[in-house]
Each structure stands twice: as structure tokens, then as C-alpha cells.
Structure 1
Amino acid sequence: MTPARIEFRGIGKRYGTVQAVKPLDLVVEGGTLVTLLGPSGCGKTTLLRMIAGLEAPSEGRILIGGRDVTDLPPGERNVSMVFQSYALFPHMTVLENVAYGLVSSGLSRRAAARRAEAALDGVGLPGFGPRQTFEMSGGQQQRVALARALVLEPEVLLFDEPLSNLDARLRRSMRDDIRALQQRLGVTVVYVTHDQGEALAVSDRIVVMRNAGIAQAGTPMELYVQPDTVFVATFMGEANHVRGMIEAIEGPLATVAAGPLQMRLPHRGLPMGPCDLILRPEAVRLAQDGPLPAAVRRATYMGAQIEYRLATPIGDLLAIMPSAGPTWQAGDDARAALRPEGVVLVRADM
């Protein structure tokens, strides 16, 4: 089966006078995992629920695999959804939970049980069918919810904040499992989260949403290395935001000054004059001969790395450096340097 492509054509959603999703166009290529990322209230879950048929759009059309599904009920879309709460039936066994959708669609209980057992094998839970769901850990319950979605062999699989109820270590393990499973099956996945680390780890593409619209879409690397705006840069991981001045433009490069620093950076279509700069923490380096005076306000040991809070002429900066090597303590006077590949000009937020 060819992986299903999802197309949003001018899709929007209003609740009375409130615009939950502004009219937008978006394509999710078949067989890819696309994450909708953004703060609470930005419209990402509403967009996901419109794909599932749980919310009706106020305008526009939704196509899945070339078929217009805008007016179809959820059961006719060949879409499965994994909810944040898992939504397992507590009075049913694990096997009954996974087989429920198949039995409801008319498949015999014996055939449904065989497919449910295969689905449990596929998510790493062989032999768990007779157990009760309340006897299982959070991670195991999440796998049951995933098996229940996959057993229906959907064209599109939807995840709504699936890892938010898990601890940090289990969250890392489950996100790796979800990504590996998606790549093995080749199914189209739309994944909602507000956790940028999670989005970076699992996605082919990320759609950053803000104020009910799309702020920027691209690959994880594109969004981290070349964010368009201050908002996208600061939402896609730690970022230092400082003000600078574009003093000259020559070809694709601009001469940019920020305090005592002067850099040559791609101008990205920005004019001469005041500008916004993003400095990734890993691009800020403490060095005895650096051009920027830096007073160490705080040094936080994080195992493999140390986080430094610095006071500098261009503002307070966060620097992240390996803990293996020279270190500084709070109260030390130091110098800082920047790696140009971690510095980018961005547009100011409107």
C-alpha cells in the first residue's frame, strides 16, 4: 500500500469569534513523520483532531491519499489516533483492548484475537494479552494503545502528546520505539507535542505553530540552524537573543556588530540597521583570549557538560561547554568567543 499523503487546503477552525486555526495550506508527504510543535493554545491539537474527524473545519478541505475526507465521519477515514490519556478500557484485558476496534467493525473474535496478538508482538508485548491494563506500567499501557491503533492498519497514525505522562528515561525509550516503528511500517504519522527535544528526535519535518497559524516548517536541522524568527529560534531549543547592527552588506554576507564583536554572516534578506541575533549556547565558548569580556555568574555541572550563565557587554548569555577540559567558577572573570556556525540573523517577532 502506498503511504497516504495528507493535504490541508485553506483549512481553518473557529469557535464562535475565536480563531483556533487560521486558514492554512500544508502537505504531509506519505510515509513521513511530521510533528506539530508549539505552545499550549497554538492550534496544533485542533489541527490533529480535524484530521481524525473529531472536529469539523469551519473552512477548507482535507485530503488523505488523494481522497477528500472533510465531511467523512472518523470511522470512514482509515485513521487511528493514540491519545495522551491512552483511553484504555479498564474492564477489558490487554488483548480485548487491542482487538476491540476489529470486533466492532465486524471481524470474528478469533480472527481479531490473532491480529491483536500479532500487533502486541510488534510493539514488544508478546504474551501480555491476558493481563489487565491496570497491572501494567505507564510505558506498557502506551504500547497497548499503540498496538490498538496499529491493528486497524490505518493509512495515517495520529499521536496527541503521547509521552507526556511518562518519566524522562521512559519517554526517551518510547520516542525511539515510535520512530523505529514508523520507519519500519512506512506509515504516515502526524505527531503533536510541545517538547522541542521530542520533536527534534522523532521528526522528518516539524511544523512550528504560533497564534493559530504556522510560524515556520522545515526539517529539524533547518529549524534549529536557520530559524526565521526570534520565536522559532527560542522555541527550538536554548537560544541567546541579542541585538546587533548590520553595518554593511556585500553579496550574500552582512557585516554585523554586537558590542565589541564584529561578524560576517548571511544577511538572509535583512536590510542595514538594527537587527536581531540568535546565539546558540554551544556556540559561546569561554577562552582566555576571547574578544568578549564575560563575568561568570553561575556554573552548573550537568555531567557531560557545564552550563555557564555569563554577564557580557551584549547581555546575559548562556554557554554550554563540555565538562572535560578547563572549567570556570561563579565569580570568575573570563573572556568569551563565538563560533560563527552557531550565530544567525533572524527577523524580529511581530
Structure 2
Amino acid sequence: MSIPIKTTGAEVRLTGLGKRYGQVQAVKPLDLVIEGGTLVTLLGPSGCGKTTLLRMIAGLEQATEGRIFIGGRDVTLLSAGERNVSMVFQSYALFPHMSVLENVAYGLVSSGERKQAAHAKAEAVLETVGLKGFGGRLPSEMSGGQQQRVAVARALVLEPDVLLFDEPLSNLDTRLRRTMREEIRALQQRLGLTVVYVTHDQSEALAVSDKIVVMRNAGIAQAGAPEVLYASPDSVFVATFMGEANHVRGVIESVTGEHCVLALDSARLTLPGRGLPPGPVDAVIRPEAIRIAPPDTPNGLEATVTRATYMGSHTEYYFGTAVGELFAQGADRLRRRQPGEKVRLLLDEEGVVVVRP
């Protein structure tokens, strides 16, 4: 049977979109374009506005200002049922008394489609998400990962223009989260879906996204491709939120063209200057940019091991240095450094970034 699912997603365009609750600005007016067929993640800490923004796209919250366009159609004043979007909730929200097949077909049946046709479509979509033959089971007879797939199938069977995910993997254990995020990404790419995905998990966002929108204080701090946000963050907040990062203070000694010389105590690095003038500056050092060397190695930073934690495949270290405490990882399973040991830290330039506060 052919799979009754659209294979092209609609563009979502937000213009001046904002939301107030009385005097509280839950989402500051913002502009955002989510291209059709891409997966865009709204990433940020609790209370930053990401879920409110998702619910406005879904039609579950009414925007206070601005407009929402889906596939070029103004849906700002339309109800959730009129927008042709589907949402996968954190709790999955499956009906416990219905079979898996009935859960998936429910939206079609409730909208007037004949039960036989609805069940046929539901069977096809269950096959798409890897649950062929599971239609007769109850949700309670399914694992957490299987229930999550049922929730996705229930959303997909409605052939939405946009598929919305609200923290879909937060109830799963670490290994299953990794598997399910890969499955969601593969499904999105195979079907060409437009997906808006909310999470507070940075690794999850990096793994699944075409674009990440980092939110802070009800607004957009920075938006871009995962590799851009990780390698070239605009601020200390974005840098430290996009994975592990050491925030230190240094000095830009000179600027030549688009590059600068950054001084971190005795270490000197030539980096993209990012338009910053000479003088004190914030810098971010990624843990993977730190290499541990013997204490008599020239250049680098003098350091003392303050903590060492064995993690199996690697050791996590904290070092005391003149620029502050630095976190790094070492793949030295056979020769672990001990607290109090003197070392020299060498810094790879591609993992050090100067940023605005």
C-alpha cells in the first residue's frame, strides 16, 4: 500500500509575532522563517518562550501581535483545527482504552472519514514508523519508545503541513533518546516534512536540526545552522548553551584585517576578530580544543589538575589556571592525571572564540 503522507512541507513565516499575558511579555515580537521541508529546533532554558511560540504556531495560544503564515496562508486568526498542523506532546496523550490502530486513526474518524479507510491509512503510517503489526495492542502494552512512535504516527496520518514536537523525548532514557532522535530525523528527511521541534537538550538539537533558534528572555538570541552556532556564537550565553564551554576573560592585543591576536595569560592565539576592538574581551574555549601536555612544553597555559573523574572512554578534568578554572576531556585511559599534578594546556585555535558578553 502506498503511504498516504505528503512529501513536501510548507513554509512557516512569523512576522512581528509576540505574546503577552497581562504585563508579562512571554514572547517578544520576533521574525522567523522556517523553510519548507526543514527541521528547526527552538532551544533554550525553561521560561524562555519556546513552548509558547510553538503553541502559537499550533493555534493553541492566540498571538497578541504579529502574523503567522503557513504555506503562504495567513492563519493568525484560525483555530488549531483549521491550520492543518499536528502536534506531538511530551506526554504522548494516547487514549489508554483504544488500540494503537484506533489511536492513530482517531483524528481521521473524528473528522468524518469512514472507519475502514481511516484504519487503512493508519496501518500504512504505522508501517512507516516501524510498527507494522502492532495495531491491535493497547498503549500500555507498548514501550516508551513505541508509544512515542504511535504519537508520531497519529500526527502524520492527518497529512499536516507542519509537524510540531514539544519536548518529545524527555520521558525516555538516554540510550532510547539517542535512537528516537535519529528515527525522527530520518523520517523527517525521508518524507520532506516541515518540523518545528522544542527542546532544552543541546545535544538533541545539534543531532536533529537544519536550523537552531536559541531563545533567551522571550526573544531570539541567535539563529543558524548547528555548526555555525557552535563554532561562531554571538554571545557568551549562546556559546555556553550550545554544548560545554569554558568562559574566560582575555585581551585582544592587536587587530589585523579580520583577525586578532588574543592573549590568555602566557598563551597567544590568532583568531577571527569578529569586529571587536583591542582590549579586554570575553572568550570561549571548547573542552575539545584543550590538549594536555607535559609541564615543560613551550607555549600554552600553566595548569594544575584540580579534579579528575574517570568516565570509562575518557577522563573529565578540571584545571586551575591563571585565566580561571578550565574543563577538558582526555582520552588517557592508561595514564590518568592526578589532582595536584602540574601540566601545560595547549589550545587549538579553531576551538577558541572571542564573543560579546
Q: TM-score range by the shorter chain?
A: over 0.9
Which of 163, 168, 171 matches 1:162? 168
Q: Is 1:297–1:308's contact at 8 Å kept on the other side of the alignment?
A: yes
| 1: CA distance, partners of 2:30 / 2:334 | 49
Q: Which residue of 2 aligns with 1:306?
A: 315
What displacement does 1:325 show?
6.6
**What does the per-residue CA deviation read over 1:151-204, in whole Å, with 9 as the maximum and x for residues that have no partner?**
111110000000000000100000000000000000100000000000000000
Q: Is 2:315–2:333's contact at 8 Å kept on the other side of the alignment?
A: no
Q: Match for 1:56: what amino acid?
A: Q
SS of the aligned residue for 1:48 comes to: helix
Which of 177, 185, 195 matches 2:183? 177
| 1: CA distance, partners of 2:125 / 2:114 | 16
**Correspondence 1:101 to 2:107:** yes
| 1: CA distance, partners of 2:171 / 2:185 | 18
| 2: CA distance, partners of 1:120 / 1:3 | 20
Q: Match for 2:261: what amino acid?
A: T
| 2: CA distance, partners of 1:37 / 1:52 | 17
Q: Match for 2:250: what amino acid?
A: G
Q: Which residue of 2 aligns with 1:201?
A: 207
**Correspondence 1:62 to 2:68:** yes
Q: Which residue of 2 aligns with 1:36?
A: 42
What displacement does 1:331 show?
2.1
Which of 325, 341, 344 matches 1:335? 344
Q: Which residue of 2 aligns with 1:234?
A: 240
What displacement does 1:263 show?
1.5
| 1: CA distance, partners of 2:42 / 2:182 | 18
| 2: CA distance, partners of 1:323 / 1:39 | 33
**Correspondence 1:272 to 2:278:** yes
Q: Match for 2:42: what amino acid?
A: L
Q: Is 1:301–1:323's contact at 8 Å kept on the other side of the alignment?
A: no
Q: Match for 1:246: what amino acid?
A: I
| 1: CA distance, partners of 2:210 / 2:76 | 25
Moved more, 262-271 or 149-158: 262-271
SS of the aligned residue for 2:275 comes to: coil
What displacement does 1:48 show?
0.4
Which of 177, 190, 200 matches 2:196? 190
**What does the per-residue CA deviation read over 1:207-260, in whole Å, with 9 as the maximum and x for residues that have no partner?**
000000000001110010000100000000000000011121111111221211
| 1: CA distance, partners of 2:317 / 2:120 | 56
| 1: CA distance, partners of 2:198 / 2:100 | 25
**What does the per-residue CA deviation read over 1:61-96, in whole Å, with 9 as the maximum and x for residues that have no partner?**
000000000011111111000000000111111111
Q: CA RMSD in A?
A: 1.1
Q: Is 1:82–1:162's contact at 8 Å kept on the other side of the alignment?
A: yes
TM-score under structure 2 length normalisation: 0.96
Q: Which residue of 2 aligns with 1:72?
A: 78
Q: Which residue of 2 aligns with 1:20?
A: 26
Q: Which residue of 2 aligns with 1:221?
A: 227
Q: Which residue of 1 aligns with 2:153?
A: 147
SS of the aligned residue for 1:178 comes to: helix
Moved more, 229-238 or 259-268: 259-268
Q: Is 2:229–2:239's contact at 8 Å kept on the other side of the alignment?
A: yes
Runs of 5+ in structure 1 lacking a partner? none
* Identity across the alignment (%): 69
SS of the aligned residue for 2:136 comes to: coil
Q: Which residue of 1 aligns with 2:52?
A: 46
Q: Which residue of 2 aligns with 1:86?
A: 92
Aligned length: 348
**What does the per-residue CA deviation read over 1:278-318, in whole Å, with 9 as the maximum and x for residues that have no partner?**
00001011111153111111112222222111001111000
**Correspondence 1:296 to 2:289:** no
